[in-house]
A and B are shown apart, each in its own frame.
Chain A
Amino acid sequence: MKRLSRRTFIRGLAGASVAMPLLTRASRAQDAGSEYPTRFIVFFHPNGVEAGAWFPVAGASPSEFTLNRCHAPLIPWKNHLVLTSGIDMAVTSIGYGEPHQRGMGAVLTGRENNSGTMVGGDGTTSGWNLGTSLDQVIASRIGTTTRFRSVELGVRADVASTTGEIRNRMIYGAPELALSPSNDPAAVFRRLFSDGVTNQPELQSLTLQRRSVLDAAIGSLDDLARTAPAAERAKLEQHAALVRELEQRLTSQSVFGGTCGVPADPPLLGVDSEDDMPAISRLQIDMLVMALACDLTRVGSLQYSNAMNHVRFPFLNFQNAAGARVQSLGDGHGLSHDQGGSQYDVDEEWIARDTWYASEFAYLLERLASVPEGDGTLLDHSVVLWVNELSHGATHSHINMPFVIAGGGSGQIRTGQFLQFTNEPHNNMLLALLRAFGGDDATFGHPDFCTRVLPGLLT
């Protein structure tokens, strides 16, 4: 099959995603004679859930269950979901930090936090997490040939925080190396798609220029690494390795065509604006899905807010217990502690917010399902993991985590079930998801908290 090169794209009309002229989608994986690649997506929202409105009502068998209130927007996607209960983040029993810090650190790594000086909500201190997050482990295996190894996106993920710290980072490229999400859709567009709207001769020139500039940087980095103190050398060598990787990825052949196209250039939005949050969410989802459809990357994440979670949802109206429709004005973290709204029903407000997250999750699934790939869709070829750093905000618990999985994983995931466990360490789930991407890993995260491959999840 003929390998498609980057094609010339015309910037879309404002507000519209431009589907490119239909071409037979030809992925590198297909070139190699295999199926569409399996993609991995993480979706995060903070501060736990209201269990009574979240966990489904179980039926006679795992496939017979009724979605609870928070998941009402997911009813059309029920057969693409795996709901879970009884999974604990047992590894948070060791290491450092308060529960938000421990949960943020461990949720994707299955490891504990180091000691350190980052001050948590109650004054506890913690260092960075000691693991590599699942998405990055997967990216190191399936993301080596794409333009981007992985794409971390945020929706107000850094709000109320002026630094990257343990409570607003969940992605770890390596132990104690937290990766930051991009919160600004305009910057994300620029990063992911600006090359897609550059014509081919220009892009070739640009690539040559970039490689030449980066070559010079690599030479300088190598020089400096040689003369730098030993303790600092690793920093520079790591930097040089990243520049080399970037240089190599510049020439990677992403596959545009079919339903892959450059989305519209997003409007400038207030990255920290609570009013713009819904629009930012949709734009980030659109761009992430397109980046996956175009095979710009195979691994991505969407982080909504962070464990500090001082985010309000004034765009959301909900029905309080008295039956009145009221505007949601509570501070997220305050609501999770059953406070912060003097006139409203805090539980209902929290449930309404969780339902909003579910609607965004449903939109993500809808977008993924809208991309046809062979006999199925991009959703069929994806594994989507929805996580939280706590199970319940008021008690800061890590017991009975509200984990949700979606997508067929190219046939690896047995969807349409509600899997119930008792005190199952969450490392077991991370291990099962890793194995959905091939390999025969025996453990994931801290081995003391990984007792088996989560049963029932994989086909």
Chain B
Amino acid sequence: MASCRDGWHPAGVRAIVPLPIAVVVLLAGCPRPSTGDAAPVDAAAKTPPETAPPDGTCTSMPPGPRSVRLLTRSEYDRTVRDLLGDTTAPALRSLPVENVLIGFENDGDNHRATPLLVEGYLQLAEDIAGRAMAERRHLVMPCDPGVVGPDACAETVVAVLGKRAFRRPLTDTEHARLRGLYAAMRDPFGFDKAVELVVQAMLVSPQFLYRVDVGTPPATLDDVVLASPWEMASRLSYFLWGTMPDDALFAAAESGALLDVREVEAQARRMLADPRAQEATASFFRQWLGLDKLTHITKDAATFPELAGGAQGSWRAGVDAFVQSVVWERSGTLEELLTSNVLYVDGITAPLYGLEGPDHGGLEAREAPAGTRAGLLTQPGLLALLANPTQSSPIRRGVFIREKLMCQPISPPPPGVVIEPPPADPTLTTRERFAAHTNDPQCAGCHVMIDPIGFGFESYDALGRFRSTENGLAIDDSGELAYTTDPEIEGPFRGAVELAHKLAQSQQVKDCVLGQALTFAIGRVPDADADRCTLDILRRRFNESDSLRELFVAIAVSDAFRTTVAP
């Protein structure tokens, strides 16, 4: 039996911590809750969110990043693909996973150089430069050394490839340094090797390995500066594509057009129509929702012999396909993401969920029977992830929704508490067994925030299959939304479908989603005060369209994204 033992004082919503998801709670005016009282959450938490100030009332521009950030492994791999045609994804294979604190891999403060990374960068540079010279020489050298002469051709490599590798024109010092490397290596090792070493040097340079955001004096406004056009090109490309800028973006940087917000918007819209944008949004959803965990779901083999072959890959692919189809092929609205009754199934998952399987090896969209599915939260893979090996987990499902969609972190049990699901009992439903949490006054403080949401998902078993009975007993999927910051959604509901429709209309959920997207975009947690205007404007734009694609555009043109703290 789950137990919450001695000395635990129930707490409500935890003290505000600098989680990205907490930003929206702050934004919505959620005060620090009281703890230790009978009421789990300060009544003030039910106060309606403050109304965003009208445009023009923001007197100071919220500054964006002024930082240097190491490329993530996936950014690195896509960058060398676009720079040198290297499609081997070498960094994902050989570099260690990123250290992350903010929930997203492009964490400027925590993804830092280590001995293993620095060695790895050198090794990758040797491999990539070697492959490029051997296999795609024309991408390295836009010149023929036999025609223009080797030294002149090397000059061109330094200037032309260097500009693309550093994502801006080289300074004189940088140019001279690389030219000097070529000159020193040419005689002992020959022209080809010397050029290859120049490529290596570019790939281990910080101007390649880091996204450098230091701004452009003198375009200052108060204490902030606009990102330089070159920096803006990279900000856009790494946010919307997860890779380096293309020629059109470079041209817009070269001309200075990217200093103009209208050009930024035009570029953002162009970029969102490019397949590379799908990679970047997939990356956002993967990191925000923790979708990589789907690959490692474990289920009890004795309880679920039908899973003998494993379904992890199909679950993961199904969730990915659902998200991508909503964002890119359907309306792209948060509402559709949270309420669509479409599932993507393959030959493994279709029979599990009572759907007709495709006659090929891949995935196909299927409409679930009316009233059984609603969007992301009822995707089979996600429901299977948010469950235990042998049984469903109202706890995991409730916590996931609170934290990922409502941006309300939950106070943890204290150290020393035995945290175990209740044991199987064929005479009870899961809900009845878990009810001890909410009935035990020691546990109720937090579980009152978790379980009434999680119980709404009891119509789905540990594999995410729809069910109306458990152990021969009728399923009770009634639930309640309480202790939110959105009075519109408070109150009882029945089942995950109704819950999902409520959440899709919730200002709290919309604020939460935009906070996550902004964190992903700027590589830091938005500051509730400094970024308040940005958050307000984003909220208005997102509310107007409900479109995730429009949200990405709105972020791209936002002040937080386009500016930098003045030096």
In the bound complex, CA of A148 to CA of B416 (Å): 40
CB A322 to nearest CB in B, in angstroms, measures 15
With an 8 A cutoff between CB atoms, is A321 at the interface? no
* A213 and B201 contact, CB distance less than 8 A: yes
A residues less than 8 Å from B401 (CB atoms): none
With an 8 A cutoff between CB atoms, is B38 at the interface? no
Known: A182-B96, A216-B177. A235 touches B112 (CB 8 A): yes
A residues less than 8 Å from B560 (CB atoms): none
**Cβ contact of B68, chosen from A98, A191, A214, A228, cutoff 8 A:** A228
A residues less than 8 Å from B424 (CB atoms): 342
* B118 and A239 contact, CB distance less than 8 A: yes
With an 8 A cutoff between CB atoms, is A323 at the interface? no
Shortest Cβ distance from B112 into A: residue:
A235
**Cβ contact of A216, chosen from B17, B201, B525, cutoff 8 A:** B201
Known: A123-B399, A164-B99. A242 touches B118 (CB 8 A): yes
* A184 and B94 contact, CB distance less than 8 A: yes
* B421 and A99 contact, CB distance less than 8 A: no
With an 8 A cutoff between CB atoms, is B47 at the interface? no
* B189 and A173 contact, CB distance less than 8 A: no
With an 8 A cutoff between CB atoms, is A286 at the interface? no
With an 8 A cutoff between CB atoms, is A159 at the interface? yes
B524-535: CB near A (< 8 Å → 1, else 0) gives 010000000000
- Chain B CB within 10 Å — which of A162, A210, A236, A338 has the most? A162
* A219 and B114 contact, CB distance less than 8 A: no
With an 8 A cutoff between CB atoms, is B105 at the interface? yes
Known: A210-B122, A216-B178, A229-B214. A163 touches B303 (CB 8 A): no
In the bound complex, CA of A339 to CA of B200 (Å): 52
With an 8 A cutoff between CB atoms, is B389 at the interface? yes
A48-59: CB near B (< 8 Å → 1, else 0) gives 000000000000
In the bound complex, CA of A164 to CA of B118 (Å): 17
CB A162 to nearest CB in B, in angstroms, measures 4
Known: A173-B115, A187-B94, A238-B113. A213 touches B415 (CB 8 A): no
B49-64: CB near A (< 8 Å → 1, else 0) gives 0000000000000000
* B68 and A235 contact, CB distance less than 8 A: yes
With an 8 A cutoff between CB atoms, is B102 at the interface? yes
Known: A213-B204, A229-B66, A396-B415. A164 touches B100 (CB 8 A): yes
**Cβ contact of A246, chosen from B101, B102, B119, B420, cutoff 8 A:** B119
Known: A334-B389, A342-B424. A239 touches B105 (CB 8 A): no
Known: A220-B174, A238-B112. A180 touches B97 (CB 8 A): yes
* B114 and A117 contact, CB distance less than 8 A: no
Among B29-37, B205-213, B240-248, the one that faces the other chain is B205-213
In the bound complex, CA of A245 to CA of B114 (Å): 11
**Cβ contact of A209, chosen from B102, B185, B293, B420, cutoff 8 A:** B185
CB-contacts of A124-166 with B (<8 A): 124-125, 127-128, 148-150, 152, 158-165
B residues less than 8 Å from A223 (CB atoms): 171, 173-174
CB A440 to nearest CB in B, in angstroms, measures 28
With an 8 A cutoff between CB atoms, is B282 at the interface? no
* A216 and B181 contact, CB distance less than 8 A: yes
With an 8 A cutoff between CB atoms, is B249 at the interface? no
With an 8 A cutoff between CB atoms, is A343 at the interface? yes
* B102 and A117 contact, CB distance less than 8 A: yes
* B112 and A152 contact, CB distance less than 8 A: no
**Cβ contact of A163, chosen from B18, B98, B171, B419, cutoff 8 A:** B98
CB B194 to nearest CB in A, in angstroms, measures 9
Shortest Cβ distance from A123 into B: residue:
B412
Shortest Cβ distance from B412 into A: residue:
A124
B residues less than 8 Å from A394 (CB atoms): 418, 420
**Cβ contact of A182, chosen from B17, B116, B287, B293, cutoff 8 A:** B116
B183-211: CB near A (< 8 Å → 1, else 0) gives 01100110001000100110011110010
With an 8 A cutoff between CB atoms, is B236 at the interface? no
In the bound complex, CA of A453 to CA of B112 (Å): 34
In the bound complex, CA of A190 to CA of B122 (Å): 12
With an 8 A cutoff between CB atoms, is A169 at the interface? yes
CB-contacts of A375-433 with B (<8 A): 394-397
With an 8 A cutoff between CB atoms, is A441 at the interface? no
With an 8 A cutoff between CB atoms, is B325 at the interface? no
**Cβ contact of A213, chosen from B173, B181, B293, B567, cutoff 8 A:** B181
A residues less than 8 Å from B324 (CB atoms): none
Known: A118-B101, A342-B303. A208 touches B188 (CB 8 A): yes
CB-contacts of B143-182 with A (<8 A): 171, 173-174, 177-178, 181
B residues less than 8 Å from A227 (CB atoms): 214
In the bound complex, CA of A58 to CA of B385 (Å): 45
* B116 and A152 contact, CB distance less than 8 A: yes
B residues less than 8 Å from A343 (CB atoms): 302
B residues less than 8 Å from A228 (CB atoms): 68, 212, 214
In the bound complex, CA of A312 to CA of B301 (Å): 12
In the bound complex, CA of A212 to CA of B68 (Å): 24
With an 8 A cutoff between CB atoms, is A458 at the interface? no
With an 8 A cutoff between CB atoms, is B296 at the interface? yes
B residues less than 8 Å from A331 (CB atoms): 298, 389
With an 8 A cutoff between CB atoms, is B67 at the interface? yes
With an 8 A cutoff between CB atoms, is A273 at the interface? no
With an 8 A cutoff between CB atoms, is B216 at the interface? no
* A122 and B118 contact, CB distance less than 8 A: no
In the bound complex, CA of A98 to CA of B101 (Å): 16
**Cβ contact of A217, chosen from B110, B119, B193, B204, cutoff 8 A:** B204
* A191 and B115 contact, CB distance less than 8 A: no
A residues less than 8 Å from B220 (CB atoms): none
* A214 and B173 contact, CB distance less than 8 A: no
CB B195 to nearest CB in A, in angstroms, measures 12
B residues less than 8 Å from A152 (CB atoms): 116
B residues less than 8 Å from A159 (CB atoms): 296
With an 8 A cutoff between CB atoms, is B327 at the interface? no
With an 8 A cutoff between CB atoms, is B496 at the interface? no
A residues less than 8 Å from B302 (CB atoms): 341-343
With an 8 A cutoff between CB atoms, is B554 at the interface? no
Shortest Cβ distance from A331 into B: residue:
B298
With an 8 A cutoff between CB atoms, is B372 at the interface? no
CB B546 to nearest CB in A, in angstroms, measures 28
In the bound complex, CA of A312 to CA of B185 (Å): 51
B residues less than 8 Å from A119 (CB atoms): 403, 409
* A232 and B177 contact, CB distance less than 8 A: no
**Cβ contact of B19, chosen from A125, A177, A245, A337, cutoff 8 A:** A125
Shortest Cβ distance from B290 into A: residue:
A162
In the bound complex, CA of A196 to CA of B507 (Å): 61
**Cβ contact of A232, chosen from B19, B67, B114, B171, cutoff 8 A:** B67
* B68 and A149 contact, CB distance less than 8 A: no
In the bound complex, CA of A414 to CA of B525 (Å): 51
**Cβ contact of B97, chosen from A164, A177, A340, cutoff 8 A:** A164
With an 8 A cutoff between CB atoms, is B222 at the interface? no
CB B412 to nearest CB in A, in angstroms, measures 4
With an 8 A cutoff between CB atoms, is A243 at the interface? yes
* A173 and B173 contact, CB distance less than 8 A: no
Chosen A-B contacts, 24 in total, with CB atoms closer than 8 Å, are A117-B20, A118-B100, A123-B412, A125-B19, A125-B412, A127-B101, A163-B98, A165-B101, A173-B114, A177-B114, A178-B99, A180-B96, A180-B116, A210-B122, A213-B197, A216-B177, A228-B68, A229-B565, A238-B113, A242-B114, A339-B420, A340-B390, A342-B302, A395-B418
Q: Which residues of A contact B (CB under 8 A)?
A: 98-99, 102, 115-125, 127-128, 148-150, 152, 158-165, 169, 173, 177-182, 184, 187, 190-191, 205, 208-210, 212-217, 219-221, 223-224, 227-229, 231-232, 235-236, 238-239, 242-243, 245-246, 310, 312, 329, 331, 334, 337-343, 394-397
15 further contact pairs, Cβ within 8 A, besides A216-B181, A229-B565, A339-B389? A117-B19, A119-B403, A122-B419, A159-B296, A162-B292, A163-B97, A164-B99, A180-B96, A210-B122, A217-B204, A221-B206, A232-B67, A238-B112, A394-B420, A396-B415
Q: Which 7 A-B pairs have the closest CB atoms?
A: A180-B96, A124-B412, A239-B113, A164-B99, A163-B100, A162-B292, A160-B296
